Structure 1
Amino acid sequence: MAGGDQPAGGDLLLTAVRGQRRRLAGGVVGAICHQGGEALVPVLIGVIIDRAVATGATSGLLAWLGALAADFVLLSLGFRFGFRVTVNAAEWAGHDLRLRVAARVVDDRGGAETGRLAGELTNLATSDVRRASGVNLVMPGGTAGLAGLVVAAVALLNVSIVLGLLVLLGSPPLLWLSHLLGRPLERRSAVEQERAARASGVATDLATGLRVLKGIGAEDAAVGRYRRTSQDSLAATLRAARAQAGFDGAVLVLNGIFLAVVALLAGRLAARGEISIGGLVTAVGLAQYLLSPLGMVTNVIGQFAQARASATRIAAVLGARPAVAGGQADPVAHPRGRLRIDGLACVDGLRGVDLDVAPGELLGLVVTDPDATGALLRCLARERDPDAGVVELDGVSLADLPPGEARRLLLVAAHDADLFAGTLAENVASGLAADGPAAFAAADARTRAATLSSALAAAGADEVARALPDGVDTQISEFGRSLSGGQRQRVALARALAADPPVLVLHEPTTAVDTVTEARIATGLRELRRGRTTVLVATSPTLLAVTDRVVVLDGGGVRADGTHRHLLDSHADYRAAVLA
């Protein structure tokens, strides 16, 4: 499901079970063989006592002992086969669920990440998926448990109609009561998973921003925040554990009382002579055996309660409303790069913005309001739909294109873009317009070297490569934490330049570099993007000086338009913004 129509948690569990029905069928067969064999053990022992031991027939005793041995072989093989197939079903169901969650999170239309930290999504894709897919692990056992109850009831009917009816009529109310006892467990498990996911998200944020936190001396505040979140998670976990313990204890007591009644009634019938000694042994053995199937069925109830809570959280992500609508228009065959913004408005800073960027133009855009900057970049990047107005590329509205296609044609490179774990070359290659690293790896060595060299040089990242021990083959840690802020920014800029989109929007790409490097980047940027439409959203005079023209957005709309030199001479607000 791509999002928008939220499935219920129960429906998601049903889908997870149906998807593994073939494996589960094998698991059920194996589990029934095991449980049926277990139920037959006291029955065979009772028969041995009545027909072999009591009569002293050696041949009969050996025959029934052989039957008992064959039964043990059957139940052993059934358990091994059923358990192996069931585990496979649970693992495959978990794999399928993780793929669905991952597909929704990376969906071009976005929305799944709204209101959720990265660590929360990670927790959901691991812990919640494990619990939800775990229903496949207990379903065969539960089914076999029901079959075991039927076999035991039939065997007891053969011994005594009263005993058989007691099991047949007493088991359903017992299981229904167990279901009612499992409801508090479901509610508390949902809270436990939510709090655990939140703690995971805060921990991920803390680890990601550790260098920044140390730089501003905010370690204690961050640790305090995590401690409070972790304590909330611990409290929820303890409440869920108490609910689990209460459920297990109550079920054990109910099962014990029920089985004690069966055993006492069997003893009373034997004392009256209504059943034989072998029948008494069978009845008592079956009473003890019934602990296993009853436990298996009630375990399904408890596991289902926890799985449904996790499935509901998964369903909320799968059914998250997309951040932007997905268009169906055909891709622009030969994009020229003409960008037109008409009446663009957003509640968070834009009011009727009109802008026309010619193909191949290098435009500087100075926005005095940070909220307006963010709103404009999100609309251009198709991270949100504007409240009014339209953004067109070569006469086609971006809203009419699939979000992924729109971003391929118009790339917005944020100034704080993250890097990935891998080599510097792989990070730059991930921006290639075709198939990213795969296309880069398939190209010949000379093409790879030329692509890297031009992008790195224009971004000033060639100096970064020379400073690293293995050059472009140096491994970079997750989020680029092994690099300085300026180095990360230059590598991210090289990645955007390597993508070579028809329209490239760069947001403050040189805030973390020195003035000499910035001047070199400005020159390299103009040369590399010559003939390709580029928009520089920046206030750096060095960058704005190489643009063809500059547009000033102030108060939510266009306030000035001209060359950098002209605006410096004639526009006081512009001068204040770029020379401050």
Structure 2
Amino acid sequence: MQIQDLPYPDPGVPDARSGPRFLRWLFRNQLGGQLKSLAWGLLHFGSVSVLPFCVGLAVQAVVDHSGSRLAVAGALLAVCCVGNAVGETFLHRSAITNWITAAARVQQLLARKAALLGSALTRRVAAGEVVAVSTGDVEKIGWFVEAVSRFTAAAVTIVLVCVGLVVYQPALGVVVAAGLPVLAIAVLPLLPRATRRADVQREKAGRATELASDTVAGLRVLRGIGGEELFLDRYRRASQEVRHAAVRSARMWSLISAIQVLLPGLLLIAVVWYGVHLAREGRISVGELVTVYSSVMLLTYPLRHFEEIAMAYSFSRPSARRAARVLSLERATDTGGSLAAETPSGDLYDPDTGLLAPAGRLTAVVCGDPDAAGVLAERLGGHPSEEGVSVLLGGVPLDDLPLDSARTAVLVQDKDPVLLSGSLRELLEVPASGGVGAEAALAAAQCGDVLTALAQGSLDAEDPMDARITERGRSLSGGQRQRLALARSLVTDPEVLVLDEPTSAVDSHTEARIAEGLRELRAGRTTVVFTSSPLLLDHADRVALVHEGEVVAVGVHRDLVHTEPRYRAVVTRETDEETARHERVRTGSELNDVLDALEDIEETA
């Protein structure tokens, strides 16, 4: 395929069992481009390798004072120069095409996998590693894929030249044919060490990228707590480790390059010395000596491709391994499920914790562990637990639904939702049922002041909906970003909406209004809110307390505050001493009730 055919309608199903298998799969899927590159490479290297024969023929023609043979040599030389120019031009074109198409295919596969897994991807693979795979690693993978055809053309050319030299001048040809394989394999003992050093460099670079990604994402928080310099120092140290590893790797590759220059030079000296000896004895002509000498000198060019293919494989192997690791991640639906014909509706139930969210009701979930709450929220969105337990919607496992159906049925808003750059109108242009308009969603999320701020901050947008939002909404406060993300979720109007701490960054007055707007707008739709805010809990139809991985109490907020100490400890943030005091008071009150009942019985008797 050509570059104009990108992106591929279907990038295919990769063989992600290992890095080498993934590289072979890429090569097979570009077989047409590889063969084209091989053909142009053979023309290019073949034209270069024939030049010495033309030069030797011309020299011998001059020695023999033969004008006709000199003319033939000149014509052959012109043909070889044209073939060299055409072959090199189209070899470069086809090789770059193979490089770009391989990198683009890998990027498409990674993008498809990221869309398939959603936020679960960064829970299973570090965000920095995903960034490293989708940027630097795809280039190295593409480099190896395109270098294979050029290396093959160079290897075939070397074999043909050796055979030709043996036939043309057996005495010198045997020396060249015996020496060239030694030159090709001389660097093999150094490759394992060079590969290990390259792996260490890539590993340290990946960790540095991950650290940089995490630091940039939390820069606002780091500045607030005065930890910016601390993390910058950590990144500087990581960057220096990458530099030292790169220098160590470069030293090994420079040694390999030096050997690739030294050994051909030694072979050239040996051929010239032996050839002069044969010429003095009259066993070879001057033209034959020039031909063999020129051939050995020019063969150092295709020999460089042995070094390049070794370097390309050494750098691409860890990159391919990381890419294969990401691409091998699967959602349960990928392994085969009973695809439902229609998106189900009904109660949302998690067998792992016993959490039940009745259809059409607003259910609040209180969990003392924020990380456990995030995992549970993701599971409600269709990602199974480590034991493979799937959430049920209307009695149907979400993992048995096609991905599109599962995402249409259940939408999960993360604790830290991302706002993409663009206008507010573009932000709210998401797949939706059409039942909730943008104005209603913005009003329910209490985004009035956000619209005002966007309008004031925009110089060319008369309508706040056309105001630009910077990358990740960095120009907005945390509460403003949170409310816009909530409005975006409300616009989609899914069958089930799961919100993880949707109001953690807003003030109490705004939070109370959001709670009212959320309840009104989502009336008749299933909504699950993970929160510990009394303002949201008080508006919920049903509140469930999750403790140590299971639901331990269900009720309404006002009752649970008085009857469930664990619930009260999470919601009111009371200390252990306050919990014990409340328990003593409750126990004493119950004892007084019992005594009063006994007194009533005695009086009656």
Please give the range of the TM-score, normalised by the shorter of the 2 chains.
0.7 to 0.9
Inter-partner Cα distance in structure 2 for 1:507 and 1:85: 50
Q: What does residue 452 of structure 2 align with?
A: 466
Q: What does residue 183 of structure 1 align with?
A: 192
Inter-partner Cα distance in structure 1 for 2:343 and 2:169: 85
2:29 paired with 1:43: no
Structure 2 counterpart SS, 1:185: helix
**1:22 paired residue among 32, 45, 48:** 32
TM-superposed CA distance for 1:55, in Å, is: 3.3
Q: Is the 8 A contact 1:526 1:546 kept in 2?
A: yes
Structure 2 counterpart SS, 1:107: helix
Q: What does residue 533 of structure 2 align with?
A: 540
**2:443 paired residue among 457, 463, 468:** 457
Q: Structure 1 residues 321, 571: closer, same or farther in 2, change over 3 A?
A: closer
Inter-partner Cα distance in structure 1 for 2:175 and 2:317: 32
Inter-partner Cα distance in structure 1 for 2:487 and 2:177: 73
* Correspondences of 1:166-177 after superposition (within 5 Å): 166-177=175-186
Q: What does residue 489 of structure 1 align with?
A: 482
TM-superposed CA distance for 1:456, in Å, is: 0.7
Structure 2 counterpart SS, 1:382: coil
Q: Is the 8 A contact 1:159 1:275 kept in 2?
A: no
Q: Is the 8 A contact 1:111 1:322 kept in 2?
A: no
Q: Structure 1 residues 81, 480: closer, same or farther in 2, change over 3 A?
A: same
Further displaced range: 534-543 or 5-14: 5-14
2:41 paired with 1:31: yes
Inter-partner Cα distance in structure 2 for 1:414 and 1:306: 36
Q: What does residue 118 of structure 1 align with?
A: 127
Q: What does residue 317 of structure 1 align with?
A: 326
Q: Structure 1 residues 259, 57: closer, same or farther in 2, change over 3 A?
A: closer
Inter-partner Cα distance in structure 1 for 2:18 and 2:546: 46
* Correspondences of 1:119-138 after superposition (within 5 Å): 119-138=128-147
Further displaced range: 96-105 or 231-240: 96-105
Q: Structure 1 residues 260, 138: closer, same or farther in 2, change over 3 A?
A: farther
Inter-partner Cα distance in structure 2 for 1:304 and 1:555: 48
Q: Structure 1 residues 180, 569: closer, same or farther in 2, change over 3 A?
A: closer
Q: Structure 1 residues 108, 332: closer, same or farther in 2, change over 3 A?
A: farther
Q: Structure 1 residues 380, 569: closer, same or farther in 2, change over 3 A?
A: same
Q: Is the 8 A contact 1:31 1:82 kept in 2?
A: yes
Which structure 2 residue ranges, 5 or more long, are not aligned? 1-10, 456-460, 574-605
Further displaced range: 146-155 or 499-508: 146-155
Inter-partner Cα distance in structure 2 for 1:184 and 1:571: 63
Q: Is the 8 A contact 1:456 1:462 kept in 2?
A: yes
Q: Structure 1 residues 512, 130: closer, same or farther in 2, change over 3 A?
A: same
Further displaced range: 63-72 or 329-338: 329-338
Inter-partner Cα distance in structure 1 for 2:388 and 2:157: 65
Structure 2 counterpart SS, 1:91: helix
2:92 paired with 1:106: no
TM-superposed CA distance for 1:276, in Å, is: 0.8
User: Aligned letter for 2:126?
Assistant: L
How many residues are matched? Answer: 556
Q: What does residue 406 of structure 2 align with?
A: 406
Q: What does residue 394 of structure 1 align with?
A: 394
Q: Is the 8 A contact 1:453 1:462 kept in 2?
A: no
Q: Structure 1 residues 356, 114: closer, same or farther in 2, change over 3 A?
A: closer
Q: What does residue 289 of structure 1 align with?
A: 298
Q: Structure 1 residues 355, 287: closer, same or farther in 2, change over 3 A?
A: closer
Q: Structure 1 residues 300, 58: closer, same or farther in 2, change over 3 A?
A: same
After superposition, give the CA deviation of every residue in 1:10-68 in whole Å (9 maximum; x if it has no partner).
222222222222222222222222222222222112212223x1333434433432222
After superposition, give the CA deviation of every residue in 1:459-493 in whole Å (9 maximum; x if it has no partner).
11233122212412222222221110110110111
Q: What does residue 588 of structure 2 align with?
A: none
Inter-partner Cα distance in structure 2 for 1:16 and 1:9: 11
Further displaced range: 218-227 or 184-193: 184-193
Structure 2 counterpart SS, 1:512: coil
Q: Is the 8 A contact 2:543 2:554 kept in 1?
A: yes
* Correspondences of 1:160-309 after superposition (within 5 Å): 160-309=169-318
Inter-partner Cα distance in structure 2 for 1:251 and 1:86: 23
Q: Structure 1 residues 493, 250: closer, same or farther in 2, change over 3 A?
A: same
Q: Is the 8 A contact 1:381 1:407 kept in 2?
A: yes
**How large is the RMSD of aligned CA atoms in angstroms?**
2.8
Q: Structure 1 residues 115, 412: closer, same or farther in 2, change over 3 A?
A: closer
User: Aligned letter for 2:468?
Assistant: Q
Q: Is the 8 A contact 2:120 2:378 kept in 1?
A: no
Further displaced range: 239-248 or 536-545: 536-545
Q: Is the 8 A contact 1:340 1:357 kept in 2?
A: yes
TM-superposed CA distance for 1:316, in Å, is: 2.6
User: Aligned letter for 2:177?
Assistant: L
Structure 2 counterpart SS, 1:306: helix
Q: Is the 8 A contact 2:374 2:415 kept in 1?
A: no
**2:158 paired residue among 145, 149, 153:** 149
Q: Is the 8 A contact 1:185 1:306 kept in 2?
A: no
TM-superposed CA distance for 1:218, in Å, is: 0.5
Inter-partner Cα distance in structure 1 for 2:342 and 2:30: 43
TM-superposed CA distance for 1:531, in Å, is: 0.6
TM-superposed CA distance for 1:356, in Å, is: 3.4
Inter-partner Cα distance in structure 2 for 1:34 and 1:558: 72
User: Aligned letter for 1:363?
Assistant: T
Inter-partner Cα distance in structure 2 for 1:145 and 1:364: 68
Q: What does residue 378 of structure 1 align with?
A: 378
Q: Is the 8 A contact 1:108 1:403 kept in 2?
A: no
2:99 paired with 1:90: yes
User: Aligned letter for 2:83?
Assistant: L
* Correspondences of 1:72-83 after superposition (within 5 Å): 72-83=81-92
Q: Is the 8 A contact 1:132 1:307 kept in 2?
A: yes
After superposition, give the CA deviation of every residue in 1:209-268 in whole Å (9 maximum; x if it has no partner).
211111111011111211121122112211111111111112222222222222222121
Q: Structure 1 residues 400, 77: closer, same or farther in 2, change over 3 A?
A: closer
TM-superposed CA distance for 1:325, in Å, is: 7.3
TM-superposed CA distance for 1:321, in Å, is: 6.1
Structure of higher RCO (CA pairs closer than 8 Å, 6+ residues apart): 1
TM-superposed CA distance for 1:389, in Å, is: 6.3
Structure 2 counterpart SS, 1:290: helix
Q: Structure 1 residues 577, 260: closer, same or farther in 2, change over 3 A?
A: same
Q: Structure 1 residues 4, 381: closer, same or farther in 2, change over 3 A?
A: farther
Q: Structure 1 residues 91, 545: closer, same or farther in 2, change over 3 A?
A: same
Q: Is the 8 A contact 1:111 1:320 kept in 2?
A: no
Inter-partner Cα distance in structure 2 for 1:190 and 1:516: 54
**2:555 paired residue among 559, 562, 568:** 562
Inter-partner Cα distance in structure 1 for 2:320 and 2:80: 39
TM-superposed CA distance for 1:532, in Å, is: 0.4
Inter-partner Cα distance in structure 1 for 2:82 and 2:184: 30
Inter-partner Cα distance in structure 1 for 2:477 and 2:291: 76
* Correspondences of 1:301-450 after superposition (within 5 Å): 301-320=310-329, 328-331=337-340, 333=342, 335-342=344-351, 344=352, 353-385=353-385, 387=387, 391-402=391-402, 405-430=405-430, 432-433=431-432
Q: Is the 8 A contact 2:176 2:296 kept in 1?
A: no
Q: Is the 8 A contact 1:548 1:563 kept in 2?
A: yes
Q: Is the 8 A contact 2:379 2:390 kept in 1?
A: no
After superposition, give the CA deviation of every residue in 1:339-391 in whole Å (9 maximum; x if it has no partner).
2334x2xxxxxxxx434333211222223343542342232133441648663
